[in-house]
Amino acid sequence: MDINNTSDFVSGFWNVYVIVLVLLSVIGCGVFLWSQSSAKHAAGQTTGHVWDENLEEFNNPLPNWWRWMFYLTIIFGLVYLCLYPGLGNYPGSYGWTMRGQHDKEQAVAEEQFKQAYGPLLKMDVAAVAADPKAREAGQRLFLTYCAQCHGGDAKGTKGFPNLTDSDWLWGGTAAKIKETITNGRDAMMPPKGLKPDLDLDQIKDLANYVSSLSGLASDAGRAQRGKDLFGLACGACHGPEGKGNLGLAPNLTDKVWLYGSSEDTIVETIAKGRQNRMPAFGEFLGDAKVHLLAAYVYGLGGGVTEPAKSVEAIAEPPKAADAEKN
């Protein structure tokens, strides 16, 4: 389709067309009703239509209460079109829009939520997680915004992590969980099956070595060859021992598998790579809801306690920069 022709659908003609069509339809209904009410009816005579031998259709006018019900409906429709949008681009005297109504109701709901749970923002996430009322509210938020991916029980599914265990790619402290919900996360495992990287035989060697790291059944010969390849192909991200790096690559020595632990799945992961995304909810939900969600996730059982700072580290002031080095 020629892109220049799309202007036909946003020209002023269609606005006029819709207005005329709507008004003719409504007024036409009134004219038709008036014509029927003013027509001559021969009381007691039939139209000549007979069913089942003796069931006849009489030519009687509509009852007045019925006719006036239709008239009132037409009047209501015309008044509605004056007050609300319905005539092309005319917004109506009230200027009502669905977006405006939604934003108004959303603002009211946000204000109510802020009044009810805003004070929890002054509490740390761990303290909020221990509050039964706050946890109940956090669960409702989780079921609304998070359960579609992580499941209603938060135990995840293929491609979506379990939030109830202690395995955290981006960190399981209260601050890190809140950061993840607020800003989202983007993770990518680059494909190794593209030339000039690895051929299929080498990828299978690597897959067997990765399987052996977590105690899964593997081919010893392939695993040994894969071990020699691992440092070159995977060690930069997963570490020389495959224990992973926080915020970069997962631990390959535990029993946690996001996409599956079969040889075929591991081969697919190495050859084709993986890409996953956790959307950011900070701007959409606001601080209070993010705080409650973080507390709920933290309280599911897998949250990591913040490392305690030593007294010396807290008491010692930061060292001033050496001016001579600037």
298 with 166: CB under 8 angstroms? no
Residue 127 and residue 148 in one domain: yes
Residue pLDDT, tens place only, 132-181: 999 999 999 999 999 999 999 999 999 999 999 989 999 999 999 999 99
Same-domain status, 271 and 193: yes
Between residues 141 and 63, which one has the greater pLDDT?
141
- Give me the residues paired with residue 87 across strands: 90
Question: What is the chain's mean pLDDT, rounded?
Answer: 86
Report pLDDT digits (tens) over 207-249: 999 999 999 999 999 999 999 999 999 999 999 999 999 999 9
Residue 319 has pLDDT above 60, yes or no: no
7 and 78 share one domain: yes
302 secondary structure, DSSP code: T
Report the length, in residues, of the chain. 326
137 and 284 both lie in a single domain: yes
> Long-range pairs for 71-79 at CB < 8 Å and ≥24 separation?
71/30, 71/33, 74/26, 74/27, 74/29, 74/30, 74/33, 77/26, 78/26
- Show the domain range for 137: 111-184+279-298
Q: Is residue 66 part of a domain?
A: yes
Q: Are residues 7 and 125 in the same domain?
A: no
**Same structural domain, 177 and 214:** no
Same domain, 235 and 285: no
Helix (H) / strand (E) containing 213:
helix 200-213
For range 260-279, the mean pLDDT:
95
Q: Average the pLDDT over 18-33 and give the result.
A: 91
- pLDDT grade, residue 321 (50/70/90)? very low
Express the helix, strand and coil content of the chain in percent, nearest 5 each.
55, 10, 35
Regarding whether 77 and 8 lie in a shared domain, the answer is yes
Integer angstrom CA distances of residue 202 from 194, 242, 263, 276: 12, 17, 13, 25
Q: Is residue 99 part of a domain?
A: no
Task: Give percent of the chain with pLDDT exceeding 90.
Answer: 61
For residue 324, being part of any structural domain is answered with: no
277 forms beta bridges with 186
Residue 317 lies in a domain: no
For residue 273, being part of any structural domain is answered with yes
Does the residue 311 lie in any domain? no
Tell me if 275 sits within 8 A of 190, measured CB to CB. Answer: no
Q: Do 175 and 35 share a domain, yes or no? A: no
If asked whether residues 25 and 35 sit together in one domain, one would say yes
DSSP 8-state symbol, 257: -
Q: Which helix (H) or strand (E) holds 29?
A: helix 12-38
Tell me: do 287 and 153 sit in the same domain: yes
Report yes or no on 326 lying in a domain: no
For residues 269 and 215, membership in a common domain is answered with: yes
- Number of domains into which the chain is organized: 3
